[in-house]
A and B are shown apart, each in its own frame.
Chain A
Amino acid sequence: MSTQTDNQTASAGNRSSGWVIFVFFLIGFVASIISGWVAFPKLLYSTKQQPIDFNHRVHVEQMGGQCDSCHYFRKDGSFAGAPTLEECISCHSYPMSDDPNEMKFIEEYVNQEKEVPWLIYAQQPPCVFFSHAAHVKGADMQCQTCHGDIGSSTSLRQYQENRITGYSRDIWGHSMLRLGEPDHGGRHQKMNDCAECHLKQTGSKGNCFQCHK
């Protein structure tokens, strides 16, 4: 036992004291908190520029106030999504204004017959079958409920992409804690968000095959 006591006394002089250890603990703690809450989201998401800064408001005004003038249902019930170049050209075969964005559109896409690589904020992964028909036609929902009032926007928001999953940040939501409503006034679009609304509206979270393929 004497050896042990000797060791304890001998080592006491060599060791850092309790508060130093605690300070180090605190440094580690605070540093990780800061990097986890501030740096991590910046690392996780990349910011991408939309190919053209699209003005929804101008288009809505021109097209009679209806979203489905451009974002329409096909006869077979499928939803067309973002318009194709061909559909854009039906109005924009020549410039309709001197807006630099339109100029860019005409020069880089119309003249070169290239589809515009729009970044879709609400893009769902390939395993999802989202029925616009069921929501818009079946349940009479408004586009704004999920997408926010995008129709009155004059320019496009930043598009952020999760570097690991490739998802648009809108799916998870801007807040890392998924708190509050999204900035655009619509909905977050993780599966739980769908389920929550379905539970409220239909009394059931829904079956897997309702929205998966």
Chain B
Amino acid sequence: MTTPAIPEGVERCPTRQFAVWLAVVGVVLLWGVYAMFLIWYKGLNQTGMNDAYGFALWIWADLAVIALGGGAFFSGFLAYIIGKKELKSIINYAVIIGFICYSSALLILALDIGQPLRGWFIFWHANVHSMLTEVAFCLSCYFAVLTIEFIPLVLENPKLNRIPFLHHLSHNLHEVMAVFAATGVFLSFFHQGSLGGVAGVLYGRPFAYREGLLIWPWTFFLFTWSAAAVGPCFTMLVTWITEKVTKKKLVRPETYQLLAKISGWMLLTYIIAKIADTWYWAAVTAPSKGFALMDFYSNNPIYGIWILIAELVICGVVPALILVSQKGRQNKNLLVTAAVLAVLGICINRWVMVLQVMAAPLLPFQDWYMYMPTWQEVATTILPVAYGLILISLAYRYLPVFPHEKELNPGR
């Protein structure tokens, strides 16, 4: 009569231990949910934002999680379209991480608008010229695709898989997954890019503004490229952490190696393009509007030139070089360090493209605008992390996320 909910042949921790873990994370989640309702009920006055900071922590969190969630589309692209079989080992997990990232992004977006009940205007009364419209459409569509990609995995839960209808549905979905993966890749290229466009088109903000190709500023391409480069790093990093926590091998070493290699080359090409872009912006675009590079990096308590060096060199060039060298990526410590740096780099990039844009003064008589988030903003930004941990825990426990787990952990 009872079917085990846990996939066959794998070992999971005792229910009690699992429940305690869920409870701990659940408390953090509840804190976030409380803050969320506070914001919906009382309005955005609960945040530290102001008229100079219309975009702040949340938009950064959005851009960052979507960039990090880029592992899903790029691994899917490599696995289903290019046909890299090695990645089958990690593709499920990549999809779950992507799903978490994108659902979090949508939740934060729903929080970040002053009139949530009118949120659908973005679809119904869309302004096709706005990058945000493009973001909203692509984001929603891609989230739908991710959900579809996620469903077969959910259906593989032993209990659900028992139901013939669901079993067949799951099977058939697997068959057509390549189609969805392709759709997802297409959508992702656009919305990752349009997120880059969000800042890049702001021709009233010389710190953000970039020239570009047709209607797309260079940041459009840079965002897509960087998400494709760093998304897999994040997937690797989360997998590695999961392995450490579960004390098991979950993914084949060659999967890591392949992802790291591709990520490394992507990162290297990205950082070269990014440096070129920064140089052109600093030497041509900004000066044409009367700004010298150091105008953007001085006379304020936080944003020094260090942040540019950190983003481009320490968290850009360094991890790229580690990952492209075979020795570097074969050393597990270096590999993890590189992944951490790359993730940090993209977070810095998204941060400056949102918050430093708002901070930099425009008129000579203005000062830098500084901003401090409130606990409500922090709590709602941590909320997705807690939610992600819970979803990962549940998925790991009840779904056959890692197809090679059994084989990699014999005798357990």
Note whether A and B contact each other (Cβ less than 8 A).
Answer: yes
Residues from chain B with a CB closer than 8 A to the CB of A4 are: 3, 162
**When each residue 1-22 of chain B gets 1 if its CB lies under 8 Å from chain A and 0 otherwise, what string results?**
1010000000000000000000
Interface flag for A7 (CB, 8 Å): yes
Which partner residue on chain B sits nearest A3 by CB separation?
B3
**When each residue 253-274 of chain B gets 1 if its CB lies under 8 Å from chain A and 0 otherwise, what string results?**
0000000000000000000000
Range for the number of chain B residues in contact with chain A: under 10
Give chain B interface residues in 292-342, CB to chain A under 8 Å.
none
**When each residue 1-39 of chain A gets 1 if its CB lies under 8 Å from chain B and 0 otherwise, what string results?**
001100100100000000000000000000000000000
| Smallest CB separation, A151 vs chain B (Å) | 36
From DSSP, what is the main secondary structure of chain B's interface residues?
loop
| Smallest CB separation, A25 vs chain B (Å) | 14
Residues from chain B with a CB closer than 8 A to the CB of A7 are: 1, 3, 162
Give chain B interface residues in 189-213, CB to chain A under 8 Å.
none
From DSSP, what is the main secondary structure of chain A's interface residues?
helix
Q: How far is the CA of A204 from the CA of B3 in the complex (A)?
A: 65
Q: How far is the CA of A4 from the CA of B4 in the complex (A)?
A: 11
Q: How far is the CA of A10 from the CA of B3 in the complex (A)?
A: 13
Q: How far is the CA of A10 from the CA of B1 in the complex (A)?
A: 8
Which partner residue on chain A sits nearest B1 by CB separation?
A7
Residues from chain B with a CB closer than 8 A to the CB of A3 are: 3
Residues from chain A with a CB closer than 8 A to the CB of B3 are: 3-4, 7
Q: How far is the CA of A10 from the CA of B162 in the complex (A)?
A: 14
Which partner residue on chain A sits nearest B4 by CB separation?
A3
Which partner residue on chain B sits nearest A6 by CB separation?
B1
Give chain B interface residues in 154-198, CB to chain A under 8 Å.
162
| Smallest CB separation, B84 vs chain A (Å) | 33
Q: How far is the CA of A7 from the CA of B162 in the complex (A)?
A: 10
Which partner residue on chain B sits nearest A4 by CB separation?
B162
Which partner residue on chain A sits nearest B161 by CB separation?
A4
| Smallest CB separation, A211 vs chain B (Å) | 15
| Smallest CB separation, B351 vs chain A (Å) | 35
Q: How far is the CA of A3 from the CA of B162 in the complex (A)?
A: 11
Which partner residue on chain A sits nearest B158 by CB separation?
A4
Residues from chain B with a CB closer than 8 A to the CB of A10 are: 1
Which partner residue on chain B sits nearest A7 by CB separation?
B1
Q: How far is the CA of A3 from the CA of B3 in the complex (A)?
A: 9
| Smallest CB separation, A8 vs chain B (Å) | 8
Q: How far is the CA of A4 from the CA of B159 in the complex (A)?
A: 10
| Smallest CB separation, B167 vs chain A (Å) | 11
Which partner residue on chain B sits nearest A10 by CB separation?
B1
Residues from chain A with a CB closer than 8 A to the CB of B162 are: 4, 7
Q: How far is the CA of A4 from the CA of B162 in the complex (A)?
A: 8
Give chain B interface residues in 1-56, CB to chain A under 8 Å.
1, 3
| Smallest CB separation, A207 vs chain B (Å) | 14
| Smallest CB separation, A91 vs chain B (Å) | 46
| Smallest CB separation, A194 vs chain B (Å) | 15
Q: How far is the CA of A10 from the CA of B2 in the complex (A)?
A: 12
Residues from chain A with a CB closer than 8 A to the CB of B1 are: 7, 10
Q: How far is the CA of A7 from the CA of B1 in the complex (A)?
A: 6
Interface positions of B (Cβ within 8 A of A): 1, 3, 162
Can you report 7 A-B residue pairs in the complex whose CB atoms are below 8 A from each other?
A3-B3, A4-B3, A4-B162, A7-B1, A7-B3, A7-B162, A10-B1
The 6 closest A-B pairs by CB, nearest first: A7-B1, A4-B162, A10-B1, A7-B3, A7-B162, A4-B3
